[in-house]
Amino acid sequence: MKKILFLALMLTGCTTYHQTISSYNKIDITAKTVAVERANMSDIYQDFKQALDQAGFRIYSKDDGRSMARYELSGDIQRDDNVRCGLWEDGYTYDMTFIDSVKKSEVFGMQGQGCRENVLKDFTALINNRYDEKSDKIDEPQDEDMMRAPSLRSDGRTWWGN
């Protein structure tokens, strides 16, 4: 019986998930341009860029020094083997900031450790103005938002969405 329980835990994984989200402002939906680091080729960072694209952002490289983007995505995200997420999902340690370049202020920040799916879900909610900082919950999209809900794909797999 103990072997079966141990095997079940190994297959499902023990999830470690801790993060802090600080949301200060909403994103101006009339100015959806963002500068991101061109050199970061990690899988999850590419998923962030795909989520931004699906949310209607025009993506610029901040490495070229002449970006005219309204927003800037900065930070560090690294795969972390100490974050337990199961056999088929990666864990990450991250510290990300979304900055309004015009107002020179932080729109939101995400720091912590978590599993890929949860980190992407929270990031997508933040860039679509669906994160409620007072209740620490994600607002469910309204009917018209469902048509525009982002779908993230990586390695040929759909993580969520259409």
* Average pLDDT rounded to a whole number, residues 121-147: 67
78, part of any domain: yes
21, part of any domain: yes
Joined tokens for residue 97: 């900031």
120, part of any domain: yes
As separate numbers, helices (DSSP H) first and strands (DSSP E) second, the chain gives: 4, 10
CA distance 151 to 130: 15
CA distances to 79, 89, 117, 159 from 10, rounded to whole Å, are 19, 13, 19, 22
Query: From the centroid of its chain, how far is CA 17?
Result: 14
Domain range for residue 101? 12-134
CA distance 84 to 82: 6
**pLDDT top residue among 81 and 32:** 32
Which H/E stretch holds residue 138? Answer: strand 137-138
Percent over 70 (pLDDT), the chain: 67
158, part of any domain: no
155, part of any domain: no
Residue 137 class from Cβ within 10 Å (0-12 exposed, 13-18 middle, 19+ buried)? exposed
123, part of any domain: yes
Domain tally, the chain: 1
Site of tokens 């932080």: 106
100, part of any domain: yes
For position 137, what pLDDT does the model report?
A: 55
156, part of any domain: no
For position 87, what pLDDT does the model report?
A: 75
Question: DSSP states of 52-64 as a string?
Answer: HHHTTPEEEEGGG
CA distance 32 to 102: 12
What is the tens place of the pLDDT at every residue in 67-124?
789 999 998 888 888 888 877 788 889 999 999 999 999 999 999 999 988 899 999 9
Give the CATH number for residue 28: 3.30.160
